């Protein structure tokens, strides 16, 4: 790992200015993604700004939903009683992610910004448009079993690797950002991550020096009746091959509202508004779920090694919808 200067910030303004005004600087909270990538020379920073002293804490019920401070740790949010009871899909996505050690370290803000596990991105011996714009994408015809079938481009098919963002995007979460001028803005998580297009190096709408302050999630019936189903190569501690975040509000046998997002298959946390449209107002039956699942992957462009994700994603979605509909 290249050496760097360490700064501990006590105020948000100090932290954001230190990153905005210093080329090569980065924020550090848990450091689990950052130090991993710095050891691989995938990321190099000459200054790290420690933001752990900032007041971006708390998990609380607000007038219209849930507020999670960006510096809360994954383990604490995952086991928070309010989150477990009112937003089970969020708790489950967190507790099925990473390992207990990493969850004790990793912050909520950092988790949303975690970077792809694409092997070509993580190995500097290979070209990668995300790491070195214009250098090429060996994944297109290479080792692409774990890569995306939705939202890819000729420049990049790297999967967004996280779980939490998939749950949050399903529940209409909003990210609160703050820049070096102290100015705050709210971005729906749906618009926060970007598909690669011709600029795979740009992964979110976050500007240099901007910090994630908190995430808010509106309360809803489909949030209370929700779940996260993650399918992996091993039973635990692995990234998703496919995951589904679903929420349903079923009255009688009719679906009043539905939320659907997929993980492990998209270049960003993949919300399917098309699937939700099919579910809403329809009877909660397997036929409905099958139709919604088919719609969710209709635009998929699988590659040679990840064609299996097409069927796996649909089956995962149907299972999740069936299970959540059966919940009291």
Distance CA 35, CA 46 (A): 13
Residues paired with 263 in a beta bridge: 243
Rounded least distance, CB 14 to another protein, Å: 6
Q: Which is nearer to another protein, 100 or 136 (CB)?
A: 100
Adjacency order of strands within the sheet including 226-231: 226-231, 242-251, 254-263, 270-271
**Distance of alpha carbon 221 from its chain centroid, rounded?**
22
- State the minimum distance, in angstroms, from the CB of residue 53 to another protein: 7
Cα–Cα nearest to 208, from 15, 20, 70, 18? 20
User: 112 to each of 79, 211, 223, 270, how far by Cα in Å?
Assistant: 18, 12, 19, 13
Q: Which pairing describes strands 25-28 and 47-50: parallel, antiparallel, or unpaired? A: parallel
28 binds another protein, rule: CB under 8 A: yes
Given candidates 16, 19, 23, 32, which one binds another protein under the rule CB under 8 A?
32
Toward another protein, which CB reaches closer, 9 or 189? 9
Please tell me the distance from the alpha carbon of residue 193 to that of residue 278, in angstroms, as a whole number: 25
Give the one residue of 26, 35, 219, 221 binding another protein; rule: CB under 8 A: 35
Identify the three-state secondary structure at position 146: coil
Between 117 and 256, CB nearer to another protein: 117
| Closer to another protein by Cβ: residue 235 or 287 | 235
Residue 2 makes contact with another protein by CB under 8 A:
yes
Binding of residue 53 to another protein (CB under 8 A): yes
Any idea how long the chain is? 328
Among positions 77-116, residues that touch another protein (CB under 8 A) are 98-102, 104-105
Q: Which of residues 57-76 bind another protein (CB under 8 A)?
A: 75
Binding mask 196-235 for another protein (x = CB under 8 A): ---------------------------------------x
The nearer residue to another protein, 31 or 127, going by C-beta atoms, is: 31
Of 104 and 280, nearer to another protein (C-beta) is 104
CA distance 137 to 132: 10
Among 50, 123, 143, 323, binds another protein (CB under 8 A): 50
- In this complex, which beta carbon is closest to another protein, that of residue 36 or of residue 323? 36
The three-class DSSP label of residue 245 is: strand
The site that binds another protein (CB under 8 A) totals a number of residues, namely 34
Euclidean distance between CA atoms 320 and 284, whole angstroms: 12
List the one residue from 36, 123, 143, 323 that touches another protein (CB under 8 A).
36
Rounded to 10°, the helix 286-296/308-326 angle is: 140
Q: Contact positions toward another protein, by CB under 8 A? A: 1-11, 14, 28, 31-32, 35-36, 39-40, 48, 50, 52-53, 75, 98-102, 104-105, 235-237
């Amino acid at each position: 790992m290249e050496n760097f200067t360490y700064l501990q910030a006590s105020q948000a303004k100090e932290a954001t200015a230190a990153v905005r005004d210093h080329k090569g600087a980065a924020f550090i909270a848990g450091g689990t993604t950052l130090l991993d990538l710095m050891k691989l020379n995938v990321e190099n920073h000459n200054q790290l700004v420690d933001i752990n002293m900032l007041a971006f804490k708390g998990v609380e019920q607000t007038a219209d939903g849930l507020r999670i401070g960006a510096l809360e740790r994954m383990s604490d949010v995952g086991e928070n009683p309010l989150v477990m009871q009112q937003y089970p899909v969020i708790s489950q996505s967190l507790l099925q992610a990473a390992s207990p050690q990493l969850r004790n370290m990793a912050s909520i803000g950092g988790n949303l910004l975690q970077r792809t596990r694409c092997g070509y991105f993580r190995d500097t011996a290979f070209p990668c448009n995300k790491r070195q714009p214009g250098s090429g994408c060996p994944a297109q015809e290479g080792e692409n079993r774990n890569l995306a079938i939705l939202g890819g481009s000729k420049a990049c098919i790297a999967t967004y690797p996280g779980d939490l963002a998939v749950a949050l995007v399903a529940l209409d979460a909003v990210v609160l950002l703050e820049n070096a001028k102290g100015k705050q803005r709210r971005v729906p998580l749906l618009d926060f991550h970007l598909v690669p297009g011709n600029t795979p190096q740009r992964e979110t709408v976050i500007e240099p020096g901007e910090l994630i302050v908190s995430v808010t999630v509106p309360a809803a019936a489909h949030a209370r009746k929700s779940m996260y189903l993650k399918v992996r190569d091993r039973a635990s501690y692995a990234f998703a091959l496919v995951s589904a975040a679903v929420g349903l509000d079923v009255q009688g046998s009719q679906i009043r509202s539905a939320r659907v997002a997929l993980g492990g298959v998209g270049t960003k946390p993949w919300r399917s508004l098309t699937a939700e449209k099919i579910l809403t107002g329809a009877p909660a039956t397997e036929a409905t779920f099958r139709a919604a699942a088919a719609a969710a992957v209709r635009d998929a462009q699988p590659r040679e090694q990840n064609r299996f994700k097409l069927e796996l994603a649909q089956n995962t979605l149907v299972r999740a919808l069936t299970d959540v509909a059966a919940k009291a």
